[in-house]
Chain A
Amino acid sequence: MATVAAGPHRGAPGFARRALTSDHLAGWLFVLPAVFLVALFSIFPIIWGFILSMQKASLLSPSRPFVGFDNYTHIANDPLARQAAVNAVYYTCLFVPISIIIALFLAIALNQKIRLIRFYRLAVFIPVAVSTIATGVMFMWVFDANFGLANWALGGVGLGPFGWFDSVSGAMPSLVIMTVWGWLGFDAIIYLAALQGVPHELVEAAAVDGASRWTIFRHVTLPLLGPATLLLVVWSTISAVQLFDEVFFITRGGPLGRTSVPVYYIYRLAFTSSYGFSAAGYAAALAYVLFVVILILTLVQFWLGNRVVHYSS
């Protein structure tokens, strides 16, 4: 029986009194501003976006008739949505494996105690710190079909001029090259940290047992890099499917729609009048479908990953 020294003739303190003096309340109050910001900028738009996806809406006019799930069913009949999906798959299937594999070898190279290693690690990470627009400006010059550095250098060894961003079939691969260059450093640093977490005793033990360097790598190091690989695969896939900056700035979905990725298509639907004025609702529906797709992809990757990855305790 609680005997709280709150004064004579009083029972247990009232709810309000308990609430105002509990430990929890102080904690909640300190966290409240952050919760408010998250609710305002994340949760509210998510809910509003879902409502928008059920309307035929223009962001410019207040008339927003309710159309139920029409926007969602229209996605199935929209060849441009299909094109965006195909482009996203194409880009992701190129970007994720290439960036991760190169980053792995880069991390191994950076995991040495040679002179200037700090400089090399910094140099590898700098492209990540450069903004996507600045990278875009640079690559627009490098990949310029007539006056660019790439064609000039390749011409010097006899390789014909490429269209790069101007080429119908080469625009997406050019985007892959540019974005891989921009993100390699991030993946490499993650792998570097993971590599340095590989216990030395295991490697030495394997060497003592007569394993070759390749065998050590394949059977000791690589499995222990599992968690890092899983993280990078999930992260890279999510950001690859959401590609936007480079498409918006350089190719604008072209040429002939070959680089029209989902987020760029959504942007054009909602914020330009190229597809009519009331396409914002449809754009919101597409955004929701994209979210669900990414969510499913992520869950599948985690499920597969957890079956394959060994977590060292």
Chain B
Amino acid sequence: MRTRKRKRTLVVAALAAIGLVAVACTSSSSDAGSPSGSAGGSGAPIELTMWHGYGKVIDNQGQTNYEAKSLTDLVDEYDAMNTGIHVNLDYIGSNDNALTKLTVALNAGEPPDITYQYGTSMPQLATAPGIVDLTDKVQDPTFNWSDFSQGAQQAATVDGHVYGVPALIDNLAIVYNKDLFQQAGVSPPTANWTWDDFVAAAKALTDPSKQQYGFAFPIDASEDTTWHYDAMLWEGGGDILNADNTQAAFNSDAGVQALTTLQQMAVTDKSVFLDQQNSGKIQQLFNAGNIGMLVTGPWDLSSLPDVNYGVQIMPSYPGGSHATIAGPDMWVMFDNNGHGDAAWQFMQWLTAAQQVKADSMESGHLPIRNSVVDEPGFLKAFDAKFPGEGLFAQNLANVTKARPVITTYDQISRIMAEAIVKVMLGQGDPKTSLDDAANQVNQVLGGG
């Protein structure tokens, strides 16, 4: 009958449509997103996926991003060596989201082979499925693990296991506007400065009529807030936690002293530009000549082309030191389809002294290996190409302490940051706020 034939045609058409859609969906999902291809037949190179957050080699303004360029050049160099391993570099966006992106990928069962992660993420990553445990691998004498900066080694190690290879190290120091100091008739920072000198200079450099501030500080209650404070805490001889990481120690006299200094500048002198959004405004304002001093790292120097800047080590407190804080970041590897060994092989090459030196000279990164810093002539050449970075490289020697490498660190950081921001906004006093924060931290440490 004609109607039945028409119905049958409709049914067949519907089934065909579904079939097409199903084929289209499954084939596209198996093409996209599979990070490491099959180990292929003989002769096909092992494909590794490597995630980084340095940016695109040519950014949106047409400028060359030398960090990205340096890494890309190194990967291309490795590729030309025809080792049978091919590395696919992938810029995945800001490193702030690196952990989130990795979380999503892990939940999809498709992590990259190598990824750049913040050192503070290491405790959490230690529990991620498939992560390569490097403890034995790094003992290889040719790798020379002890050549890496002390703070970097500590950050890579969780509970005695090494999970990352240091990718980047930096530290905080004073970056100041020489012209503003001269105009105000204030003597620029010296290696013997105390925080009292710093506060006085900030006050002298502040001029509300010109929208000019002596200092700037991020108060977005992120780790950026906390680690600026940590440096001051250590300079006063204090510690974040006690020796076995069971109790908060930052509400000591040294801690209160540091926060009082910040309160003095923010609330009383109003000599600090407080940045709530922390999205680059501080750097722009410094570059425009509105800020006298920053406490920042070498990564910011390339954003300050219009300023005649100087670099100086951190101030100290009486009886303390000029200690500074470093933020080592890591390359972390995942064993996908048995490619863990290939990833390690590439990583050994990438972090060998020769490549570290090449990367430093190209990108302005501080060398992650001490042997490179100590190489004769290196510091001079480095500072000549990247003015001011010579001091940052030397300042690595002042990195004597590290933030606790424990799983609860991010919570501790948040609690401390909230207390710091509260005081700097004039909503609390240092002693009470720090004691309150210490109580919360002790709860977290106690397994709350």
Contacts and interface: CB of A to CB of B under 8 A. Distances in A.
A250 interface: yes
Nearest to B9: A26
Interface stretch (A105-113, A118-126, A176-184, A252-260): A252-260
Interface string B206-229: 000001000000011110000000
B407 interface: yes
Contact of A166 (B127, B274, B414): B274
B129 interface: yes
A15 B337 CA distance: 48
A272 B7 contact: no
Interface string B122-163: 001101110000000000000000000000000000000000
Interface string A255-271: 11100000000000001
Residue from the set A5, A29, A168, A250 with the largest chain B CB neighbour count within 10 Å: A29
Contacts, number: 95
Given A250-B277, A256-B427, A271 B124 contact: no
Interface residues of A, number: 37
Interface in A14-61: 20-23, 25-26, 29-30, 32-33, 58-61
Interface stretch (B50-58, B99-107, B190-198, B360-368): B99-107
B10 interface: yes
A61 B7 contact: no
Interface stretch (B170-178, B180-188, B299-307, B417-425): B417-425
B267 interface: no
Interface stretch (B13-21, B374-382, B391-399): B13-21
Contacts of A275: 411, 414
Contact of A252 (B8, B15, B220, B410): B220
B427 A168 contact: yes
Interface string A270-288: 0111111100000000000
A6 to B, nearest CB: 10
Contact of B276 (A21, A29, A254): A254
B408 interface: yes
Nearest to B284: A147
Interface in B12-63: 14-15, 17-18, 21
A273 B407 CA distance: 9
Given A33-B21, A274-B410, A275-B414, A146 B211 contact: yes
A268 B212 CA distance: 35
A250 B276 CA distance: 9
Contact of A271 (B1, B100, B277): B100
Nearest to A165: B276
Given A33-B21, A273-B410, A274-B414, A62 B129 contact: yes
B4 interface: yes
Given A254-B221, A274-B411, A25 B124 contact: no
Q: Is the interface of B mostly helix, strand, loop or mixed?
A: helix
A92 to B, nearest CB: 24
B211 A168 contact: no
Contacts of A255: 219, 276, 421, 425
B106 A30 contact: no
Nearest to A147: B211
Contact of A272 (B129, B410, B425): B410
A140 interface: yes
A251 interface: yes
Contact of B128 (A26, A32, A60): A60
Contacts of A272: 100, 410
Contacts of A60: 102-103, 106, 124-125, 127-128
A22 B6 CA distance: 11
A276 B443 CA distance: 12
Given A22-B7, A33-B18, 11 more contacts: A25-B14, A33-B17, A140-B277, A254-B220, A254-B221, A272-B410, A274-B411, A274-B414, A276-B444, A277-B127, A277-B407
23 contacts: A21-B11, A26-B10, A29-B11, A29-B18, A60-B103, A147-B211, A166-B274, A166-B276, A168-B425, A252-B220, A252-B222, A254-B421, A255-B421, A255-B425, A256-B421, A256-B422, A272-B410, A273-B124, A274-B411, A276-B410, A276-B411, A277-B124, A277-B127
Interface of A: 5, 20-23, 25-26, 29-30, 32-33, 58-62, 140, 146-147, 165-166, 168, 250-257, 271-277
